[in-house]
Structure 1
């Protein structure tokens, strides 16, 4: 489905805005590159200095994109109107008829079960407070692998459905074969249930959304039938660690401006971030099946960062992708510590570098090719910064060791005197600083004078103090992130693949042992780098000290920012506050309360909550539920399967659950007759000792 050809205003604005952005990036970058050449001792005439100029010009262009995005976002919010904002559709009445059915998907994989169910409960209850509640169903799509986690989730789901009287409204499914991770999980849902729904709202395990926001998104999609994906700009909340509070403050203070800027440049060619978005199911099923890249991982095989690719495929098919920057009521959580963030970034780095192989795929829109390149640059830019700093350090050391060349290759009566202009270098540094930090000043002015929401951030002075604090810690952590991202790019290009574990979503702090293991090598490298420069070019050392010193002290920085003590202290001082703390929506209060409530809920038989497999064997309610779910799709096992199941029951009764392998536990949980036999024999008179031994084993 193509855009309406009569909508010439949109076509004209797309071309005009992107031409302006291109000029705003290329012209200043060319001027900055020339200026760098004039600052260098040899004026860019040596191969080393030429490399410095090339790398710097690419980096200058890269940070210019973010700068101009912030500028246009600032103007968009200052005007309080954008004629192309999809939110305008909310003022248009819907056509009469039955409301479209919408599925809310929670794809999960070995997540914290109480937090997941609290998010499901919060979203469900929020929907129930809206007129359109009956059109929504919630599907929990589990890729959790272990039997204990599977049964823990199933028990929590059953309890939640019973509590909310939500039979036939909240569903749970655990995949037997976990192909293609989250994208495969969603694709499996589409194959099973896609034809039952017109839309699906894809969440993350920690996502929360207001019911009226979901209804508004459906309304927009109904009034804008060319939209295939409608992406919200999620707000971060819920963290107490220092790093978490820094990130969620930055998201809430600067995020709205950058989201408005992205909308200004992208219009109907936005990206999809994989969660907190509404998708039109039929075209998604028809056009967004992900290819398997040729070759071996990490650059081949399954596509890890599936979301950008799905948006590009949707757009290639003629459907639009929009960022609803003006919709509120969409939330997620951010990583609690630096190690958790970097583990996530390593996966994203591999996925984004895979996108480079798709740059020249036939039929893709130019905007999405640029988004692929932009995603790869999110990590490749770190390697470029690293190369720029290394080349600059080498240049400084060479100048110190070799000295200046007074006589050029051409004949001259007079020597060429090298002139060092420190003011020029300071101007260059100041220009780069403006590109990086001026948007944060604009955000402060925007909150203070236009939106008048500074009280939600603690007031004007505390908001300013919070921004200064965030800038200081960003400057300290940026070199550490640069070093790790450079490493991730290199190991990906060298062919080393990674795992895909679940993310840490609690506020557990980083231990000194973990910090030493992850940061020790980098700290040693920082000492060597700084030591060599200090030894041979001590004046240049002070230029790179803001980079080298944070790397050297990366271990204490990582540990400090992972603790919730400093974060809670700053909150008491009303610093790094966000609106979700000063004036929380009901959904934020609910999800926090429900999580604590579910974590403290008693488990039958006094079992640990994590002992899901043993509970499925002993708890009559969960055992009966598991068998009932299996009997809905009853299949008569063959003689071989029955014999195998009988052996597993005997093995279980003799040695307890710990004697079974992960695969054997899975077999028992899919065999209703064997489950019933194990449960019955554990609760009969002669099974009393067996049952007590199992309970002791679990509690020990």
Structure 2
């Protein structure tokens, strides 16, 4: 969103408004920055990765995906048209084709990512040639603002993480190059007062020389949401780099230094995204969710870095951002319906349009976030992301974007179009089976089963990578526990997909009617979910599941059996939400080390400090 200028704010920073910490320089000073950002081939990752190489890789991935989509589309057409074509067949084929691009690309990313993972350092070098710059002993020479944005969050919980980041950086011996900024958009007076008091107490506990490196600013308004808050900060910042954090983020000092070294070595890097993984979780839902997410993201992100190259992702947090080009080129465009909510991917393509590269470091280590603790919290987050991503449909004419950047925006939208396509396809299956007299149903069911298998491919690749390494198996609790985690998470993922697809479809219908939910603070702490709360939130999903299962049972029991992984999720949505939120189940899984992360089995200092609670962060 175009900003007319900084809004009024309330600041507390060593007696001044956003005073720059000692040693801060104007953004960009100390960098060998050519006038033309595209003209530094030897100091950018693209210089190490020839354009011709990226073009060949992208052509290969495109060809593989088109061939697979064509083959699956032909198989679907044969199955659906076995007894002739009608309107139902056409609609089912359209639904299937809509789900194919996302699913097929996930499969090929899994295949490519697995090969790169098994290649070890050579695979990482092929996908991220810039990563080696982070391994040296070079000291920082760029100042970094560690920035945490808050809006009606628990300040003690959030500041415990920020304080841990600061202490971890101090332990590296390079803490003087970093400062810490709490940027609040809180509109609840009680929470705002708690924020102010918590930051003041934190600063008072620090050595006198360090207090000026911690600032707090609260805006009177919420103009531009998080993106507007960051832009206002960058407009007055005297730092070179920014490390934005969410309220649940945690980045270790070693990880932050690695990112800084890479940014120093490659001045044309505008955004460097770390691979954030889920921190150890207390709730059963979060443990199961992040177990699959972590192992799927590892091969998927590595493959995407291999062919995506300089048009990488930005997830809005746990990334290093070069402030000068961000402030100059990444202001969000105005939209008729209001500010852009999912700002991060738009900022990434705007940074790339300006000639700066956006890269992801596809390596686990030192970058963490919390995942939603319950099904209801997960669905609320998904609905917020869906609403924000669909705004990208209004950006097709944004001038000057690279073709790959336009693909990224389209891909972010397509992710959420899968849900209505899948839900509508399921709803049409009983009609198709009834009108066809059951003919063709087994073929359609087999194709559907193949689709489910393809959708699991990234996770299966990550699981296989761990199982292939003795050290990785040990880090994840041993082969037996890991296999038990795979079984539990696979069942969980089917149930979750069934619930999420129906709920997202209903939400999209609400959006189409011109209504939407308020962008509220995310639930972050483990809690129980009462049956009544789950029923009120999910009764529509359950009704859909009951009607669909009943119709399939009457029309084609074979088809019901084939689609049970998804239909069962909708039917059992309420007990699923209640069971996965049970505190006792989460504790039992933790004791058994089921779906444990390596950081839970051998906790780094930073994870142990955060686990001790706000008082433990000092």
Scaled by the length of structure 1, the TM-score of the pair is 0.78
2:385 maps to what in 1? 348
Provide the rounded CA distance (Å) in 1 between the counterparts of 2:49 and 2:554: 62
SS for the counterpart of 2:242 is: strand
Separation in 1, partners of 2:77, 2:101: 16
Instruction: Name the counterpart of 2:362.
Output: 325
Match of 1:392 among 420, 429, 449: 429
Per-residue CA deviations over 1:28-82 (Å, capped at 9, x if unaligned) read 1111111112222545622321222232123122201111112211111211222
CA 1:241–1:595: 2 relative to 1, 3 Å: same
Counterpart of 2:116? 76
Match of 1:582 in 2: 601
Distance 1:162 1:67, change over 3 A: same
Q: Is the 8 A contact 1:288 1:314 kept in 2?
A: yes
Separation in 1, partners of 2:343, 2:457: 33
Determine whether 1:191 maps to 2:235: yes
Asked whether the equivalents of residues 87 and 324 of structure 1 are also in contact (C-alpha less than 8 Å), the reply is yes
Whether 2:21 is the aligned partner of 1:2: answer no
1:260 aligns with 2:302: yes
Distance in 2 separating the partners of 1:514 and 1:102: 44
User: d(CA) in 2 for partners of 1:46 and 1:482?
Assistant: 26
Residues 276 and 364, structure 2, Cα contact 8 Å, conserved in 1: no
Partner of 1:637: none
Task: Quote the offset at 1:22 in angstroms.
Answer: 1.0
**Residue 530, structure 1, aligned to residue 549, structure 2:** yes
- CA shift for structure 1 position 451: 7.2
The change in CA–CA distance for 1:58 and 1:501 in structure 2 (over 3 A counts) is: closer
Change over 3 Å in CA distance of 1:552–1:510 after alignment to 2: same
Structure 2 equivalent of residue 20 of structure 1: 60
3-state SS of the aligned residue for 1:106? strand
Inter-partner Cα distance in structure 1 for 2:103 and 2:470: 26
Residue 66 of structure 1: aligned partner: 106
Change (3 A) 1:26 1:451: farther
Match of residue 443 from structure 1 = 462
Residue number among 399, 403, 411 corresponding to 1:362 in the alignment: 399
Please report how far the alpha carbon of residue 427 of structure 1 lies from its aligned counterpart in structure 2 after TM superposition.
4.5
1:452 CA drift (Å): 2.3
Q: Considering only CA atoms, is the larger Rg found in Structure 1 or Structure 2? A: 1
Q: 1:236 to 1:92 in 2, by over 3 A?
A: closer
1:383 corresponds to which residue?
A: 420
- Is this contact kept in 2: 1:380–1:489, CA < 8 A? no
Shift of 1:248: 2.2
Distance 1:324 1:536, change over 3 A: closer
Q: CA deviation at 1:580?
A: 1.3
In the alignment, structure 1 residue 334 sits paired with structure 2 residue 371: yes
Q: Determine the structure 1 residue equivalent to 2:133.
A: 89
Deviation at 1:124, TM superposition (A): 0.7
Alignment of 1:156-555 (within 5 A): 156-165=198-207, 166-192=210-236, 194=237, 196-294=238-336, 300-326=337-363, 328-400=365-437, 420=440, 422=442, 424-425=443-444, 427-450=446-469, 452-555=471-574
Deviations 1:260-294 (A, max 9, x none): 12211211100110000100000001000111202
The 3-state SS of whatever aligns with 2:203 is helix
Relative to structure 1, the CA distance from residue 129 to residue 597 in structure 2 (aligned partners, 3 Å threshold; closer, same or farther) is: closer
- Between the aligned partners of 1:576 and 1:254, the Cα distance in structure 2 is 14
3-state SS in 1 of match to 2:456: helix
- Higher deviation after alignment, 198-207 or 556-565: 556-565
1:123-167 CA-partner distances (Å, limit 9, x unpaired): 010010113210100001111112211111111111111222231
Distance in 1, matches of 2:473 and 2:39, equals: 40
Residue 167 of structure 1 aligns to a residue whose secondary structure is helix
Aligned mates of 2:53, 2:553 — CA distance in 1:
53
Q: Provide the C-alpha distance between the structure 2 equivalents of 1:366 and 1:118, rounded to a whole number of angstroms.
A: 42
The 3 A distance-change label for structure 1 pair 89 and 469 is same
Counterpart Cα distance in 2 of 1:212 and 1:509: 36
Hey, what does 1:688 align to over in structure 2? none
Q: Matched residues in 1 for 2:604 and 2:453: separation?
A: 35
Once the 2 structures are TM-superposed, how far is the Cα of residue 221 of structure 1 from its aligned partner?
0.7
Q: Secondary structure at the match of 1:105?
A: strand
Contact 1:379 1:489 in 2 (8 A): no
The equivalences for 1:32-111 within 5 A come to 32-40=72-80, 42=82, 45-80=85-120, 81=122, 82-83=125-126, 84-90=128-134, 99-111=141-153
Indicate the residue corresponding to 1:663 in structure 2.
none
Residue 596 of structure 1, CA deviation? 5.4
Contact 2:609 2:616 survives alignment (8 Å)? no
Specify the SS of the correspondent of 2:212: coil
Instruction: State the Cα distance separating 1:326 from its structure 2 match.
Output: 2.5
Secondary structure in 2 matching 1:364: coil
Aligned mates of 1:451, 1:494 — CA distance in 2 = 54
Size of the aligned set, in residue pairs, is 572
Deviates more, 1:435-444 or 1:225-234: 435-444
The answer to whether the 8 A contact 2:499-2:569 is kept is yes
CA contact (8 A) 1:516 1:555 kept: yes
How many Å separate the matches in 2 of 1:531 and 1:499?
35
With over 3 angstroms needed to count, the CA separation of the structure-2 counterparts of 1:114 and 1:536, relative to structure 1, is same
Root mean square deviation, CA, Å: 2.1
The answer to whether the Cα contact below 8 Å between 2:80 and 2:93 also exists between their aligned partners in 1 is: no
Instruction: Give SS of 1:137's match.
Output: strand
Q: Structure 1 residue 421: deviation in Å?
A: 8.0
In structure 2, C-alpha distance between the alignment counterparts of 1:428 and 1:336, rounded to whole Å: 34
Contact kept, 8 Å, 1:229 with 1:321, in 2: the verdict is yes
Q: CA deviation at 1:359?
A: 2.4
2-structure distance, mates of 1:85, 1:8: 7
> Does structure 1 residue 145 correspond to structure 2 residue 145?
no
Q: What secondary structure sits across from 1:221 in the alignment?
A: helix
Q: Please give the alpha-carbon distance, in whole angstroms, between the structure 1 residues aligned to 2:398 and 2:146.
A: 31
Question: Do the aligned residues in 2 keep the contact of 1:42 with 1:49 (CA within 8 Å)?
Answer: no
Q: Distance in 2 between matches of 1:528 and 1:446?
A: 40
The whole-number CA distance in structure 2 between the counterparts of 1:149 and 1:495 is: 31
Q: Is the 8 A contact 2:445 2:562 kept in 1?
A: no
CA distance, structure 1, for counterparts of residue 602 and residue 155 of structure 2:
27
C-alpha distance in 2 between matches for 1:22 and 1:319:
24
CA contact (8 A) 1:355 1:376 kept: yes
